[in-house]
Amino acid sequence: MKTKVIDFSKFSSIRIGPTVEVALIENDIVPEGYTVVGSANNLLVGPNPPPLMMLSKQYDFIRIKNGQLHIGAATPGGRVVSFCKKNDIANFEYFSKLPGTIGGMIKMNAGLKEFEIFNYLIAVRTQTGWIPKEQLEYGYRKTSINEVVFEAVFELHQGFSSERLEMFAKMRSNQPNDPSAGSCFKNPPGDYAGRLIEAVGLKGVRRGNMAFSEVHANFLVNYGGGTYEDALSLINEVQQKIFETFGISLQCEVVILGDTIVTIK
Ligand SMILES: Cc1cc2nc3c(=O)[nH]c(=O)nc-3n(C[C@H](O)[C@H](O)[C@H](O)COP(=O)(O)OP(=O)(O)OC[C@H]3O[C@@H](n4cnc5c(N)ncnc54)[C@H](O)[C@@H]3O)c2cc1C
C-alpha cells in the first residue's frame, strides 16, 4: 500500500500535530483499523494518533452524468464552487471559504446556518456500495457514516448566485484569521457556544500560544507553535466552567485524534 508523509503541524488548519506516515486509499481498498483524514480542517491531531489513511488523487473529480453532479470525496469544496460558477450551477455557493474535502464535509454534514451539504445530496458511495441519503442518519454537524466515503452524487440545479456568494462571505466577517479548526464546539440546542464562552468570561482565555479567540469566542486559535496539550486543556476548562455555570455539556465539533484526557493546569 502506498503511503504519504504528512506533517500535521503544517497540513492541519490549526497547525498542530506530528509528522506521520498516512496510508493512501486507491481502487477502493481500505486498510482495516485506520482513521480517514480529509484535509484536516476540523481535526486536532495528538502526538500519538491512531493509524491514519487518506484518499488518493483518484477521488478528486467533478463530473456531470445523467443530469446529476458526481463529486469525488477528495475534491476540495473550493474547486466545486469554481466548477459551479463556470457551469452556472446553484446551491454550492456556501462551500466558498468552508475549507475541506467533500468526504470530510459529508461526514460532518458541514454547512452554514440552514445551508448544509445533505440538502442536495442524493447518495454516497462507500465500500458497501451506493447508499441513498434516506438510509443515512444526519443532523447538525453529525452523520451515521462510519465508512470511508469515496464519492457522492448531488442534485443538479441551474443558476449560480454571486449574491449568495457575497452573502456567505459577509457571514464569515466575524471569524478570526488565525489558524483554527473552525468552530470548536457545536452550538447546544437554542443557544450559541460562543455566547456561553463569553458569559463565563473565557473569551480570549489563553494558554501558551493557544486561545479562545478575542474575535469569535468559539474559535480555538493557534498564535504560532501552540500545542495539543494546551488546546485540550483549554477545551476541558471551557467545558467544565460551562457545565458548572449552566449545566450544559458542550460537545466538541472539532474531531480529536489522540488522547482526550489532559489535566487542567
Ligand atoms: C476557518 C474555518 C472555517 C470553517 N467554517 C465551517 C463552517 O462554516 N461550517 C462547517 O460545517 N465547518 C466549518 N469548518 C470546519 C471544516 O471546514 C469542516 O468540518 C470540513 O467538513 C472538514 O473537511 P476536511 O476534509 O478537512 O475533514 P477532516 O477535518 O480531515 O476530517 C473531519 C472528519 O471527517 C472524516 N472524514 C474525512 N474524510 C472522509 C471521507 N472521505 N469519508 C468519511 N469520513 C471522512 C474524518 O475522519 C473526521 O472525522 C471550518 C474550518 C475552518 C478552519
pLDDT tens, position by position, 64-83? 999 999 999 999 999 999 99
Confidence of residue 259 (pLDDT cuts 50, 70, 90): confident
Confidence of residue 265 (pLDDT cuts 50, 70, 90): very low
CA of 209 to the centre of ligand 1 (A): 23
pLDDT at 261 over 90: no
Lookup result for grid cell 506516515? 21
pLDDT at 262 (0 to 100):
52
Most informative mutation of 96, 105, 108 for ligand 1 (most atoms within 8 A of CB) = 108
Under DSSP, is residue 5 helix (H, G, I), strand (E, B) or coil? strand
Residue nearest atom 41 in ligand 1 by C-alpha distance: 103
Under DSSP, is residue 201 helix (H, G, I), strand (E, B) or coil? coil
Range in 7-11, 34-38, 116-120, 261-265 with the lowest mean pLDDT:
261-265
Q: Which residues are near ligand 1 (CB < 6 Å)?
A: 13, 35-43, 55, 73, 98-101, 103-105, 107-108, 110-112, 145, 148-149, 180-182, 255
Mean of all residue pLDDT scores within the chain? 96
155 is known as an active-site residue: no
